[in-house]
Structure 1
């Protein structure tokens, strides 16, 4: 049977989910597909290109127009959607972060963040910067979250998880309590700080746009 590009991508995603990014090699992928390694290069000229395609698959649908009617709701919806897509695959955040750094994946998620910032009437420049900042926050948080999950599976995290009570502002007993607590609580807290920061800049009159320009920026 002829090997198709989709077959290679499916096989790579299967290895990622079962073994992790560190065990994804072109030789191992070829063996799993029952072909010689050279056959893979008809579809992907190198491993980095393959990783970029994998990142695009992980992020498929994340940048769809948000349903929230407000700019802050849109940012929150997009950020949660982004995090969920990364968590759906083992080492998903690490893979996507690497391909973003090397410009091998699309910028649609960042563009969606920028569009939400423009809805808030941030200036174009500040909407772009806010898009990058939120992208990096979600990636960084989720890389840490997945790393700690793997450590827990290996028995390297032996402390009982304790979540900070953010609703009553009860302080955690130590930094470990915060790190070992519910990652969704930490994520939501950081996201709220981010949105509140934008709202503060808007209320103080800083970084606002004089017009209703909401056109998403083009990919890099």
Structure 2
């Protein structure tokens, strides 16, 4: 099969998912694609272009909602699609959060435009839309990065953190923390994304 930009990005994304961004060199991508490194430069300009291409692919995996839906329904569909796509490829979220990559493609821009359209249709002005958009991305990044954190061997402690909190937190000294601690022990960022999204959408609705 002839080498194409799409093939290069497909191989690079698979390599990044498996080995992380540190392993994503032009030489390794070429080896995984079964070509010489110089062949890649016919399809990607450099590593920055490669990272941008991977990021664009992840955005392009998100389906655009029916424009006839209410703004909050469109926003929910887009946010859910991005969350699912980012969760499949958390390495791309790390590149985005570090500002090492940007979603540079027409398809990716259409997803962003649909998000902004939904926020504009909520009745927000341009400044408020920009703030809401950044807040949504922050929620997405935080949820995905926390939920897909590497699970290596944790540092050994004489006392596990849960035991420390239970020992230190008393109703007399820290009444609010004591009251909520059992709920904090059972929750996680992944399961709370829908709740966070509800809060954001609720805050955008006109009073």
- TM-score, L = length of structure 2: 0.74
CA RMSD across the alignment: 3.0
1:10-33: per-residue Cα shift (whole Å, max 9, x none)?
A: 211221222222221111111222
| Paired residue total | 185
**Alignment match, 2:94:** 94
Identify if the C-alpha distance between structure 1 residues 104 and 182 changes in structure 2 by more than 3 Å, giving closer, same or farther.
closer
Q: What is the CA deviation profile of residues 155-198 of structure 1, one whole-angstrom value per residue up to 9, with x for unaligned ones?
A: 43998xxxxxxxxxx834386x26xx343322122212211221
Q: CA-to-partner distance for each residue in 1:116-174, whole Å, 9 max, x for gaps?
A: 11221222332232122212321232122222xx22xx243998xxxxxxxxxx83438
Instruction: Tell whether the 8 Å contact from 1:62 to 1:85 is kept in structure 2 after alignment.
Output: yes
**Is residue 173 of structure 1 aligned with residue 182 of structure 2?**
yes
Richer in helix (by share)? 2
- Aligned to 1:185, what secondary structure does the other structure show? coil
The one-character-per-residue Cα deviations of 1:63-110 (angstroms, maximum 9, x if unpaired) are 6125783222222221111100011125232134446x6545344433
Structure 1 residue aligned with 2:53:
53
2:191 to 160, 185, 191: 185
Which residue, out of 188, 191, 196, partners 2:202?
A: 196
- Which residue pairs with 1:118 in the alignment? 120
Three-state SS of the structure 2 residue aligned to 1:171 is: helix
Whole-angstrom CA distance in 2 between matches of 1:144 and 1:109:
24
Kindly indicate whether the alpha-carbon contact (under 8 Å) linking 2:147 and 2:190 is maintained by their aligned counterparts in 1: no
Q: Is the 8 A contact 1:21 1:91 kept in 2?
A: yes
Q: Which has the larger radius of gyration?
A: 2
The answer as to whether partners of 1:12 and 1:24 remain within 8 angstroms in 2 is yes
5+ long unaligned stretches in structure 1: 160-169, 204-220
Note if 1:18 corresponds to 2:27: no
2:154 counterpart residue number: 156
> For the residues of structure 2 that align with 1:117 and 1:54, how far apart are their CA atoms?
26
- Would the alpha carbon gap of residues 110 and 5 (structure 1) be closer, same or farther in structure 2, given more than 3 Å must change? closer
